[in-house]
Amino acid sequence: MSDHTNSSQTASAESTVETPLVWDHLSDVRTRLHQADGLLFGTDFDGTLSPIEENPDSPEPTETNLRSLRALRDHPQVSPAVISGRGLADLRERVGIEGVDYVGNHGLELGIDGQRETHPDAEAAEPVIEDICQTLGDRLAGIDGTVVENKGVTATIHYRMVDREEVKTVQNHVKEVVSELGKDEVEIHDGKESLELRPAADWDKGTAISQLLAHTEVWLPLYIGDDTTDEAAFEEIRPDGITVHVGDNHKTAADYRVRTPAEAEVFIRWVVTDGLALVESTDDTR
């Protein structure tokens, strides 16, 4: 397991150089796919498979991305996985494709080969998260647009729809309630227009992707995502894996980026139409 603290320091030191667009490096991606015996295709959900929506309840994967995921699943030397901050059950329902591995709650809930596994510390923190969500629901009731989403072992406080001048108030309430009720078991992490409440457990998207890799042969990992929590996955698999950040955040550990979810869709489609043929063309020694 890599040391995430060290690797994130390395990443921020390197981030003065702008992360190049993957389109300018497709030959490198092609070479690595050609050398690979198989592909672990990992992807984030919100902002990657689905466009970011105002309302956290509405996002669905685009039709093209669903088609791509099915094609990846049907390839014998590819194992696709969707890794998200959403709860495992919610994620599985939204994507709805059998034979894909799902990881929920930023790596705390794993659904690999149909088996569910939850971090024990995360399971223990569930009643504490419940308590915090109820109290926050009351305290934030007067602030329009706040959404308190209890995801079982974690929670997300969304403020995308909140007036800009009220965002600070929302954040202060969250800090207050977590310090009152969190019992040092709950941490606050910055999300996209949201705060994530997570148990102090050491599984993240990076450990998730290494657990997924342990289920494959020695396959090449590829990971694409737009969140700060996706950085742990990038750090885990680079420089050997193919890492693609979605967005204009130049402080990413990923080697490449695409600008928008629409470009992510085009890249994922490219992996299916061009990339899979390269994985297929590898000599089969069996």
Q: How far is the CB of 280 from Mg ion (least distance, A)?
A: 30
**Which of residues 44, 101, 231, 236 is near Mg ion by CB under 5 A?**
44
Is residue 44 among the annotated active site residues?
A: yes
Which C-beta is closer to Mg ion: that of 44 or that of 235? 44
**Which of residues 19, 36, 47, 118 is near Mg ion by CB under 5 A?**
47
For residues 260 and 25, what is the distance between their CA atoms, to the nearest angstrom?
Answer: 17
Q: How far is the CB of 247 from Mg ion (least distance, A)?
A: 9
Choice among 28, 37, 44, 144 that is catalytic:
44
Nearest one of 81, 77, 100 to 280, comparing CA atoms: 77
Which residues, numbered 224-283, are part of the site for Mg ion (CB under 5 A)? 226-227
Which C-beta is closer to Mg ion: that of 119 or that of 205? 205
The stretch among 14-22, 46-54, 200-208, 269-277 that binds Mg ion (CB under 5 A) is 46-54
State the binding string over 178-217 for Mg ion (x if CB under 5 A, else -). Answer: ----------------------------------------
HEC profile of 199-247: ECCCCCHHHHHHHHHHCCCCCEEEEEECCHHHHHHHHHHCCCCEEEEEC
Q: Using an 8 Å Cβ cutoff, are 203 and 107 in contact?
A: yes
Q: How far is CA 200 from CA 125, 186, 194, 196, 206, in A?
A: 9, 6, 18, 12, 15
Q: How far is the CB of 179 from Mg ion (least distance, A)?
A: 27
**Which of residues 46, 149, 196, 265 is near Mg ion by CB under 5 A?**
46
> What values do phi and psi take at 87, rounded to 5?
-65, 150
Which C-beta is closer to Mg ion: that of 227 or that of 236? 227
Residue ranges in contact with Mg ion by CB under 5 A:
44, 46-47, 226-227
Residues marked as catalytic? 44
